[in-house]
Amino acid sequence: MIPSDFHRGRRLRSSLTLREMVRENEVRPQDLIMPYFVAETDDESFIKEISSMPGQYQLSLKQLEKKVGEAVTNGLRSCILFGIPAQKDETGSQAYADSGIVQQAIRLLKDRWPDLMVVADTCLCEYTSHGHCGLVKNNEVLNDPTLNLLARTAVAQARAGADMVAPSDMMDGRVAAIRAALDDAGFLNTPIMAYAVKYASAFYGPFREAAESAPQFGDRKTYQMDPPNGREAMREAAADLMEGADILMVKPGLPYLDIIRQVRDAFDAPVAAYQVSGEYSMIKAAAANGWIDERAVVMESLVAFKRAGADLILTYFTEDVLKTLK
């Protein structure tokens, strides 16, 4: 005799139509933000694949325009830009120069696609000779003297036409400094997507090859968060929100789904998750070996971000997913 009072979960899984009807979460094109690496070069044809990130490239302005053009055709709504300057110096001056490579890229993209949401990563590490996200003195990354440079960077990005700035440096007080500087310069309506909860993660390894931004001494553990800490994430998110962040980002993504959920539950601001370079490379490597089904694994990991409570996802798979969703 089979009892009649157990839960028949399979009832609602019996067909694709029904599964789709009761599906709780979904990845939409407007959730996705595509990162691009733009290199300062006179060679218009410059396009260099990043060896640790197959399918991702350093691009000249011209090649960036081509890539973005294709992606827009496939439904791209938003991208985030990282710059590789021709010259680096102690203070990262190309980050806040009006002629800096990211500022050039912003002007180009906004001119071609006014509706594309162009986000600028606001940081110094790609532009400093030492590779740290702030000013360095006696091998120490200085907090307060860095704030003004970050604020100048955000204003230069906004002046070039950036729709949003995304500080990723993890200096204390930078969101307040950036908000004040943007307001002062008349950019009251430029939102800040703060890398609010950013861990000192080994998953950033491939990015540092892509952006040529590896620290030349030491590591980022004195400013980025310690991976074992969860409660501390709430303090970081609360601080950034209080300072004026409009969107709270958690980074990396999959290893920190618990943090995304906690931030989602504790705050009402939109939440973004960054599926970082190492996460991308792991999936690519396993797929290249035929060990996993790339497309299925990508969709499963992205919907996991939505299930954890993320509204937005920064992912290097954006272009591929847009094609899948089409």
Q: Which residues bind ligand PBG (CB under 6 A)?
A: 121, 123, 125, 133, 168-169, 204, 207-208, 220, 276-277
* DSSP 3-state of 94: helix
Least Cβ distance, residue 234 to ligand PBG (angstroms): 21
Picking from 166, 130, 291, the residue whose alpha carbon sits closest to that of residue 240 is: 166
Annotated binding site for 5-aminolevulinate: 208, 220, 277, 316
Q: Which residues contact 67 (CB under 8 A, 6 or more apart)?
A: 36, 57, 59, 319
Tokens 């806040």 sit on residue: 96
Least Cβ distance, residue 280 to ligand PBG (angstroms): 7
Annotated binding site for Zn(2+): 123, 125, 133
Q: Is 198 a catalytic residue?
A: yes
Residue nearest to ligand PBG (CB): 207
Q: Which is nearer to ligand PBG, 5 or 313 (CB)?
A: 313
Least Cβ distance, residue 316 to ligand PBG (angstroms): 7
Annotated binding site: 123, 125, 133, 208, 220, 236, 277, 316
12 touches 18 (CB < 8 A) = yes
Tokens of 325: 């969703």
Tokens of 17: 């139509």
Q: Which residues pair with 250 in a beta bridge?
A: 197, 273
Q: Which is nearer to ligand PBG, 133 or 313 (CB)?
A: 133
CA distance 323 to 68: 14
Q: Of the listed 198, 221, 284, 306, which one is catalytic?
A: 198
Q: Is 326 a catalytic residue?
A: no
Q: Which residues contact 23 (CB under 8 A, 6 or more apart)?
A: none
Q: Which is nearer to ligand PBG, 25 or 51 (CB)?
A: 51
Q: Which is nearer to ligand PBG, 95 or 269 (CB)?
A: 95
Which sequence positions are flagged as catalytic?
Answer: 198, 251
